[in-house]
């Protein structure tokens, strides 16, 4: 087995002055196929140690199929509450840990470690929320019941397929034949529909014309009646 190397360590955080469940540190230790014999300990409230091995557990040539990883007493920026509940889960790609900060405050830690430069520590942008936006964001620890990492289990192909197939609307793209609209009515007879629409339009037009005629006859007296009245008055 090769010498132990430091795994990539991703981190994110939340903070709260009065709610421990929102005063958190998220760690993701990227070790693929982590074996169950790993060790994650906290020598002090402000330090963390990890040792683990990756690779298939039943491999015949263990020296070439496994790798050893280690983080030796990494000093954190501040203390953790080791008495509080912490969550741990192993996925096929990493070990994920949720920890509680000991000091209850609204301000974020400026960094994960006391040392400003630790080359294997990186920000977990999938979980990161800016300090001034965290109150409007839900706490999503990503600890799925299946042991999957955040975002796992979402079938993007199926989701895009559902968005693209909204009831036959695919035919709207060209607008030429309106082909996709067929899904709205099943066996609808388009010719009958158009005939009914034309008939209805003609009936409406006749009715409108009739109304116009009756209105004009009420408002405008006939010329014959107008001519007859002067003669009647003269006699």
CB atoms within 10 A of CB 27: 25
The confidence score (pLDDT) of residue 65 equals 79
Q: Is the pTM of this model over 0.85?
A: no
- Long-range Cβ contact pairs of 129-134 (< 8 A, separation 24 or more): 129/12, 129/14, 131/15, 131/106, 131/107, 134/14, 134/15, 134/22
In the chain, domain spans:
8-128, 190-234
The Cα 66–Cα 177 span in angstroms is: 61
Model pLDDT for residues 14-57, shown as the tens digit of each residue: 999 999 999 999 999 999 999 999 999 999 999 999 999 998 65
Answer yes or no: are the C-beta atoms of 102 and 1 closer than 8 Å.
no
Give, in order, the Cα–Cα distances in Å from 116 to each of 111, 113, 135, 203: 7, 7, 27, 83
CATH topology for 8-128 is: Immunoglobulin-like (2.60.40)
Maximum pairwise Cα distance, the chain: 135
The Cα 233–Cα 235 span in angstroms is: 6
Model pLDDT for residues 178-232, shown as the tens digit of each residue: 444 444 444 555 666 666 776 666 555 555 555 555 444 444 444 444 444 444 4
């Amino acid at each position: 087995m090769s010498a132990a190397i430091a795994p990539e360590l991703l981190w994110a955080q939340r903070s709260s002055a009065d709610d421990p469940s929102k005063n958190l540190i998220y760690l993701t230790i990227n070790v693929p196929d982590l074996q169950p014999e790993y060790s994650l300990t906290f020598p002090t409230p402000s330090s963390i140690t990890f040792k683990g091995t990756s690779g298939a557990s039943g491999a015949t040539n263990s020296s070439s199929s496994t790798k050893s990883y280690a983080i030796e007493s990494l000093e954190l920026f501040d203390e953790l509450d080791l008495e509080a509940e912490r969550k741990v889960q192993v996925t096929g790609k990493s070990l994920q840990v949720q920890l509680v900060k000991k000091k209850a405050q609204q301000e974020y830690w400026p960094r994960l470690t006391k040392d400003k430069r630790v080359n294997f520590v990186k920000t977990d942008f999938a979980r990161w929320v800016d300090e001034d936006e965290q109150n409007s964001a839900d706490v999503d620890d990503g600890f799925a019941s299946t042991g999957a990492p955040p975002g796992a289990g979402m079938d993007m192909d199926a989701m895009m397929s559902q968005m693209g197939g909204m009831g036959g609307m695919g035919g709207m793209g060209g607008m030429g034949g309106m082909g996709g609209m067929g899904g709205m009515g099943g066996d609808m007879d388009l010719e009958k529909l158009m005939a009914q629409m034309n008939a209805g339009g003609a009936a409406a037009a006749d009715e409108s014309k009739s109304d116009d005629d009756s209105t004009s006859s009420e408002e405008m007296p006939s010329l014959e009646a107008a001519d007859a009245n002067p003669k009647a008055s003269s006699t």
